[in-house]
């Protein structure tokens, strides 16, 4: 049966994830690192197994590219969603919307697919739900690929605009506009024929209208 690592406490899991964007990338995620960010209890080491399960750290507990990508706030939630979908692939195969599945159904799944007792199942569910709080599943397809940004080249704002079918506005023509004012001074003594001639001339030369 599949094994699902879990955090002993929600506080240590959230605290570690919260610190990732705020501090430099550590050489190794171990007891010394956890202690440096305020988690010195032996139980806190369980967080490392969860991060390894998500591929945030490798087999020797060194941060991976996933950890580094998560530090970018532009894509952090998408990175987490992708990591969760990959790690919990069997869960999502059975419950495509596992991230919004209720506790009861999650407990039933983990109980049926592990050899864990009730207390461990509870902690496993709590760990999964806590991780989902840091993820945006709307930006990641069921295949684990960002729907709006498959190549990782767009920013979150650009991806959102593309998902909504919004294209960036075209830049206006940079040629300067030309505005001409024409003032006509008509003598008070001009008769109707003279005034008509003036306006016929304007129509001809300005608008190419021959009103003769």
Total H helices, total E strands in the chain: 10, 0
Q: Per-residue pLDDT for the chain (212 aa), expressed as one digit of tens each?
A: 568 999 999 999 999 999 999 999 999 999 999 999 999 999 999 999 999 999 999 999 999 999 999 999 999 999 999 999 999 999 999 999 999 999 999 999 999 999 999 999 999 999 999 999 999 998 655 555 454 444 443 333 344 444 445 444 444 444 455 556 666 666 666 677 777 777 777 777 666 666 55
Helical axes 118-132 vs 10-19, angle rounded to 10°: 30
Q: What SS3 class is residue 158?
A: helix
Residue where the block lists tokens 């195969």: 93
> Which two three-digit tokens encode residue 83?
């990591």
How far apart are the C-alpha atoms of 185 and 36, rounded to whole Å?
Answer: 86
How far apart are the C-alpha atoms of 141 and 138, rounded to whole Å?
Answer: 7
pTM over 0.85: no
How many Cα atoms within 13 Å fall on the side-chain side of residue 206? 9
Gyration radius of the chain over CA positions? 33
How far apart are the C-alpha atoms of 206 and 61, rounded to whole Å?
Answer: 79
């Amino acid at each position: 049966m599949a094994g699902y690592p879990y955090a002993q406490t929600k506080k240590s899991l959230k605290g570690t994830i919260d610190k990732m964007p705020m501090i430099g990338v550590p050489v190794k995620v171990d007891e010394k690192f956890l202690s440096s960010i305020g988690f010195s209890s032996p139980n806190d080491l369980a967080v490392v197994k969860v991060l390894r399960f998500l591929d945030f750290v490798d087999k020797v507990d060194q941060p991976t590219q996933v950890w580094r990508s998560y530090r970018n706030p532009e894509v952090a939630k998408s990175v987490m969603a992708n990591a969760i979908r990959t790690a919990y692939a069997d869960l999502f195969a059975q419950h495509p919307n596992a991230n919004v599945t209720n506790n009861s159904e999650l407990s039933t799944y983990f109980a049926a697919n592990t050899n864990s007792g009730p207390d461990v199942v509870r902690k496993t569910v709590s760990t999964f739900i806590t991780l989902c709080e840091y993820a945006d599943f709307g930006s990641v397809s069921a295949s684990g690929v960002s729907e709006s940004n498959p190549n990782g080249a767009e920013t979150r704002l650009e991806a959102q605009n593309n998902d909504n079918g919004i294209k960036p506005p075209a830049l206006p023509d940079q040629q300067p506009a030309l505005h001409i004012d024409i003032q006509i001074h008509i003598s008070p003594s001009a008769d109707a024929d003279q005034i008509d001639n003036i306006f016929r001339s304007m129509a001809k030369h300005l608008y190419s209208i021959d009103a003769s």
